[in-house]
Amino acid sequence: MRGLYECLLGMRLIGISANDLKQIFEDEALICGLDNTWYTARDCLWSSTTTIRGKLVLNSLYGDLRDFFVGSLGISELTPELVYDKLTAQDGPELSIEEAKETLVAFNAFLSAGSGTKGFALMDRKLLGEDFAAVAKFLDFGMDEIRILQPLIQWLGLGDRYLSSTVKEITCADRESTRPISFPHRDIRRKAHALLRPRASYDQNELYALLRNSETLETEAITAELSLNQDNKVLKVTKESASLHIQHDTDGLKIYVPRDRRNQEVCFNSKLPRRLCEWMMADPTTQIAGAVSSDAVTVIQSVLSAQPFALDDILDEHGIVEADIDEDDTEIPVADEDYDEEGDAETENTGAGANDDLLARPETPPSRETPPSAPSSNNTPGMATPPSSVASPEVISASYVTTRSNHAVSRPRLRPMDAYGVVEGPGDSYSSLLQNVVDHAERAGFPSRGVFDMSVLDAALSGSPGNHGTATKVFRLLSTSGPERDKQVGAAGELFVFEMLSRLQPRLTGFSQANWESTIRHYASAHPNYANMTRWTGKETADITYHDVDGVFTSLLIDKGYLDAGTWAHARPRYFIEVKTTTGSYRTPFFMSKYQYQRMHDNSHHDNSSCDTVYVIFRVFKLGTDDTGVRILVDPESMRLRNELSFTAESWSVVPAA
């Protein structure tokens, strides 16, 4: 057959074109393989670095006839599609390990991998994708695929490539066509007090005055310039039609929205809630907004969309505590304008929705002093330190009040919301929540601090900043005021820690309910196993205290990487355990009173002091969900000095850094 193929290559066939010859070989089995088996051109490959089932590789049989088989008959070489199909085939025999490796190497040869540092964007917003389609580079996945790949994207550290987070927008409103908002219930002034309830860290009066004196205006035209930084170039797109412009200067706050009813509806239910939330959360000095949770945006959207008379009840449903200042009852006049004939009539009852309960207040801030500055790097004697090559899973930032500099335009920064202090879901039984807590404590293992702590990866794979996993079971605490609900959540977290410590193996010598010295421990009596739990009548030094007389608990902390064996192996300290609980993720801020901060400082070992006492914080997170967990901060003052705990100018809040 070789001679025949050589003849066909060297001669001109009368009445048969090159295409006809190619078609004949594609339709008829005219190519001879091993053992006199015959193949069509479609069943052949010229060359391949891996075996493809059902394909004959020709270069090993007819190596000198490439011009005929490839040039005349158009037989292709190995393609990435063929290799991919082999790797993903479900109906064929399972590949051996060696064959799988061989196939992966072959597939890898087709991939021209781009560097992760090269510019590309992830299209998570349709309109932004259309705006930049002609000028920007995108990862070749659609929005649905990007959504499916979100955990992988976060794990790979590519979360900063989303269009929604990388595109910057500069807007401008047409002042000549401006008029006051046509729908009075959308006037931001009427929502000023409600917007404070996702509360400011301090100086709520300043923010309230700014919102109360703001202007919400309609305009015929809002333009925008969108910019995207890619490959060290700023790509710009001009839009003649935008939906929002927020102007904050020395004249006050003005919010411009479209006059068109449809566009205005879209604005109030999409862009305005997030932009307003970012504006309120932005640093007063730098004007840079931090991460804004989707829960916070949802609450702001509810406030903006609701009639004023229903705001208190709506915020109570979200578990938002009341603002610390009284609402200004001065009537806000309705502008004398020709309103949209289709506008909804407002039926406001100023007496409805009032909440007579006093809800939780922030901790009383300490004196305005700056704690001693932390050294740039040091290892605290006796404290186990994670390897330098691995980021510590306990990087936290704590906040306290300091004197701030004055700026021409400033506003108080809002604290991130703690999942609104409520656990929601089926049933109104607090005992059901406590049973859920006990069940999780029974299954929970004592977390380690070390190289292989998977909680960081778990947090990355559970979603974005602000979305920390989906709970399959949650609970609602009904008919309780803010302080009461906070105490119930706090007591449930303490029960989780108490149960976990009670179940340690080997058991802690002498550990009992007498070690639970919290003033809210009696809430646990709603659980049948703790029906006889009484109020703690002594002086509270910590939620749980324990004198480790035989060193069992200390040995556990050494084994789990929290304490150094050389220093603590023979120590028998007394432990002061503080429990901080949230229904949100472990990155949700928690707050320390000045007394807790002082106790944390007094019981630290950063100066190689005695090993008589240890201060520990148990951070319980995602309470009431199937993902309830705990992180442990041993000697948090030493962690601060090792730059694992940073203090910023705010209130006494502690939040794990990203």
Beta carbons of 272 and 279 less than 8 angstroms apart: no
- Over residues 554-567, the mean pLDDT reads 91
pLDDT at 91: 59
Beta carbons of 632 and 619 less than 8 angstroms apart: yes
pLDDT at 630: 93
pLDDT at 502: 96
pLDDT at 519: 92
Give 631's strand partners: 619
Q: Which pLDDT band holds residue 311 (cuts at 50, 70, 90)?
A: confident
Tell me the C-alpha to C-alpha distance, in Å, between residue 575 and each of 509, 569, 587, 599. Answer: 14, 15, 24, 12
Nearest to 322 by CA among 486, 204, 482: 482
Comparing 398 with 119, the larger pLDDT belongs to 119
Is the per-residue pLDDT at 404 higher than 50?
no
pLDDT at 613: 93
- Over residues 383-399, the mean pLDDT reads 41
Comparing 142 with 579, the larger pLDDT belongs to 579
3-state secondary structure of 616: strand
- Over residues 274-282, the mean pLDDT reads 83
Q: Which pLDDT band holds residue 285 (cuts at 50, 70, 90)?
A: low
Q: What is the percent of the chain where pLDDT is above 90?
A: 21
Q: Which pLDDT band holds residue 293 (cuts at 50, 70, 90)?
A: confident
Give 544's strand partners: 516, 577
3-state secondary structure of 191: helix
Q: CA-to-CA distance for 112 and 140, rounded, in angstroms?
A: 14
pLDDT at 352: 31
Give 634's strand partners: 616
- Over residues 188-206, the mean pLDDT reads 72
Q: What are phi and psi of 147, to 5 degrees?
A: -65, -40
Beta carbons of 177 and 220 less than 8 angstroms apart: yes
Q: Which pLDDT band holds residue 632 (cuts at 50, 70, 90)?
A: very high
Comparing 406 with 31, the larger pLDDT belongs to 31
Comparing 352 with 2, the larger pLDDT belongs to 2
505-530 pLDDT, tens per residue? Answer: 999 999 999 999 999 999 999 999 99
Q: CA-to-CA distance for 457 and 303, rounded, in angstroms?
A: 35
Q: Is the dihedral of CA 258, 260, 261, 263 positive or negative?
A: negative
pLDDT at 434: 93
Comparing 466 with 224, the larger pLDDT belongs to 224
Element (H, E) at 39: strand 38-39
Q: Which of 12-21, 56-65, 100-109 has the highest mean pLDDT?
A: 56-65
pLDDT at 450: 52
pLDDT at 473: 53
Comparing 326 with 341, the larger pLDDT belongs to 326
Is the per-residue pLDDT at 377 higher than 50?
no
Comparing 475 with 571, the larger pLDDT belongs to 571
Q: Which pLDDT band holds residue 469 (cuts at 50, 70, 90)?
A: very low
pLDDT at 331: 61
Among the ranges given (27-36, 382-391, 505-514), the one the predictor scored with the smallest mean pLDDT: 382-391
pLDDT at 207: 83
Q: CA-to-CA distance for 658 and 655, rounded, in angstroms?
A: 9
Q: Which pLDDT band holds residue 203 (cuts at 50, 70, 90)?
A: low
Q: CA-to-CA distance for 15 and 137, rounded, in angstroms?
A: 50
The length of the chain, given as a count of residues: 658
Q: CA-to-CA distance for 79 and 66, rounded, in angstroms?
A: 17
Q: Which pLDDT band holds residue 437 (cuts at 50, 70, 90)?
A: very high
Nearest to 193 by CA among 214, 215, 212, 213: 212
Is the per-residue pLDDT at 655 higher than 70?
no
- Over residues 152-173, the mean pLDDT reads 85
pLDDT at 286: 58
Q: CA-to-CA distance for 18 and 12, rounded, in angstroms?
A: 9
Is the per-residue pLDDT at 460 higher than 70?
no
Return mean pLDDT, the chain: 75
- Over residues 250-254, the mean pLDDT reads 88
pLDDT at 497: 97
DSSP sequence for 112-175: -PPPTTS--BB---HHHHHHHTTTS-B-S--HHHHHHTHHHHHHTT-GGGBHHHH-EEEEEE-S
- Over residues 410-426, the mean pLDDT reads 40
Among the ranges given (53-67, 245-259, 425-439, 520-534), the one the predictor scored with the smallest mean pLDDT: 425-439
pLDDT at 373: 36
- Over residues 638-645, the mean pLDDT reads 78
Is the per-residue pLDDT at 341 higher than 50?
no
Is the per-residue pLDDT at 574 higher than 90?
yes
- Over residues 85-99, the mean pLDDT reads 68
The model scores a pTM over 0.75: no
Amino acid symbol at 615? Y
DSSP state of 570: T
pLDDT at 85: 73
pLDDT at 80: 72
Tell me the C-alpha to C-alpha distance, in Å, between residue 8 and each of 28, 40, 46, 57, 527. Answer: 16, 16, 18, 20, 90
Comparing 74 with 363, the larger pLDDT belongs to 74
- Over residues 305-310, the mean pLDDT reads 83
pLDDT at 242: 87
pLDDT at 45: 87
Is the per-residue pLDDT at 20 higher than 90?
no
